[in-house]
Amino acid sequence: MASFFENQQLARRNTKLLVPMFALAVAGVIVAVDLFICGLYAWNPLGGPETRFIPLGIQFKAVPDALYLWGAAGTAALIFAVSGWNVMQLSRGGAAVAEMVGARRVDPGTRDPLERRLVNVVEEMAIASGVRVPAVYVMDGERGINAFAAGYEVSDSIVAVTRGTLETLNRDELQGVVGHEFSHILNGDMRLNIRMIGVLAGIVFIGSVGEYLMRGPDGDTRGRGALNYVLGPVLLLIGYIGLFFARLIKVAVSRQREFLADASSVQFTRNPDGIAGALDQTRVKPAGSFIAGWHAEDLSHMYFGQGISVRMSGFFDTHPPVEERIQRVHSRFDRESYRRSRPPAMRGLEEGDEDAQGAREKRVAVLAAVLATGSAIPPTGRRGADQGAQWGRSATENANLVGSMDSAKVEYATRLLAALPVKLRETLHEAEGAAATLVALLLAPKEGVMNFQLEALTAAGWGEMAERARRAQALTRNLGAAFHMPVVDLALPAIKAAPEAAKQELLAALEAVIQADRRVSLHEFVVLTLLRNQLAPKGRPSAGGSRKIADLQFDALTVLSLIAHAGTRQDAAGARADNLQAAMRAGTKEMGLSEGPPTARLTLQRTEAALESLKQLAPLQKAVLVKGLFAAVTSNGTIRVAEAELMRLVGAVLDCPLPPLLESIDPAMLAA
């Protein structure tokens, strides 16, 4: 299976292929419009009966060249204007797509049992994959079973499901669907999919106008004028040429990606019944997987299942046949037996987000199998952050960890979430509590220093924030380093939905707390950098990086130096310098770079600028960077919890999601 970086590169190549395909579609629509306009001119119903018997070819030659040119220019301008407008409207990413289809954002703290289960499944998948927790949406008016993921960046995606999905699927099936959508997030499909919505809108616009003229916005044909019945069918016929090309482009891009997403879902959950059962349910429910909304055609390539009905369905379907998809992920699937034994969607909801007893026992059995492999790290008596493991992965294996996920990591995420205090999880689902918890996460463990930090907050005018952070600190004080990243991720959805002023207040409060003790740790710096990155106003989406690591050598060496310092321990007198040099040498060798920058240049401001600059790297060049960073932090053959979590934080800033690296550790052992 291709790596995260290879999939990102493939998605960029497919985006470039969209340009000539779009140009061909535009040319087809222009030819159709020109034929219609020039046909009217050549036929000339006012010119007398003798002109109607002139051969058609001669009539077309009689049409002025200027009319052809003006027809082509006008059609092209219309297509590009509509496409440009739609691309601009979708520049906010996944949230704009969700709003376009009328989806409702789910409150992270929702009390609705079905929505609560969905949020929990999404949180588990996000923590298991290292992706920032996506915003969750529900399409309340849609009864079919369907879902989609959307966004320009991995770290700023959304997941939307229909009401029919919530009400029909049980937890295992829902997890299969969400796993399928996370595959699209991790495999680089989202950016291309969202661009296709905007670009293809111009191609199908003329046909949409024709349909409007014939039927009106409400489908009522009464009162439509004669011109509507003449011009409407003509525009609809011309528009079908655009629709033909649009669907051809979607089919070329989406079908194989759906097979990959199905296979990834099984890999993530280790439960082929989940995705196969969900696909089977699309054949049972009266509404199937069909989408009734106005934009069903626009998003047809993004949905989990076939969202629209088309003529020549075998050729123009954006998704492979359901039976073939099931056979690929579960060749022994017996639908009659499965339907008789499957737990209903509502079972276990009275216990919160829990399934029937049998499903719970199955997850416990999987966990026992993971811990029985002998890879679990026994208690050492050291602090949770100092625990670690031998690290024998190759450079390629290290890079392949980015964007990866499997059932062991999902199980670890489930255990880690279960280890969080219930009150803390509830607090993270509302904006004020989430902000206070992030401040509390960076408070010093020593009470005297903590009080000084809180006093600094109060002096800056954030007394209420200081008091909430003091209360939240009681919930976070025993959380080890492995919990910090998940806490940040769980807090982000509520904070992102808060007003802009609240976001800026949080960032300023975090800076005040960090600077209060006149000492900025690497962990504090990277957490603040990540939050700045996540909460910054989103500008126009970029086309993606294209720089080489050699072009950004100083930036790469700056971040490498940060990682090397974090991973170097004072094992004996004078050993730190030797260990640091060994770490830098291992990293630069893997990156193919020369000796690193002097330690004196390693300022926090410079490091933050370096992290921002390295986002310009091309996907495969980011893989080289990740290999070098791993080489430095594991130069002694081991990796500690604190080092692993720092790597994950740096990966998050660079939009290279790293899953839990030490998933065999029992979360109960990770107390601070």
Residues labelled catalytic: 181
Number of Cβ atoms within 10 Å of the Cβ of 449: 14
- The amino acid at residue 442 is L
How far apart are the C-alpha atoms of 70 and 636, rounded to whole Å? 70
- Measured CA to CA, the distance from residue 207 to residue 594 in angstroms comes to 59
Continuous segment of H or E residues that includes residue 550: none
Q: Which two tokens stand for residue 146?
A: 């369907």
Query: 10 Å Cβ neighbour count for 67?
Result: 14
Check if the beta carbon of residue 623 is closer than 8 Å to that of residue 630: no
Sign of CA dihedral 13, 16, 17, 18: positive
Burial class (CB in 10 A: 0-12, 13-18, 19+), 248: middle
Distance (Å, whole) CA 599 – CA 150: 42
Q: Which residues 6+ apart lie within 8 Å of 314 measured at CB?
A: none
Instruction: Please name the residues in contact with 19: beta carbons below 8 A apart, sequence gap of 6 or more.
Output: none
What is the greatest pairwise CA distance in the chain? 107
Helices (H), 330-446: 335-341, 357-371, 395-400, 407-419, 422-427, 431-441
- Provide the CA 241 distance to its chain's centre, in angstroms: 33
- Is 418 in contact with 483 (CB distance < 8 Å)? no
| Residue 625 vs residues 11, 163, 485, 621, 629: alpha-carbon distances, Å | 20, 42, 21, 6, 6
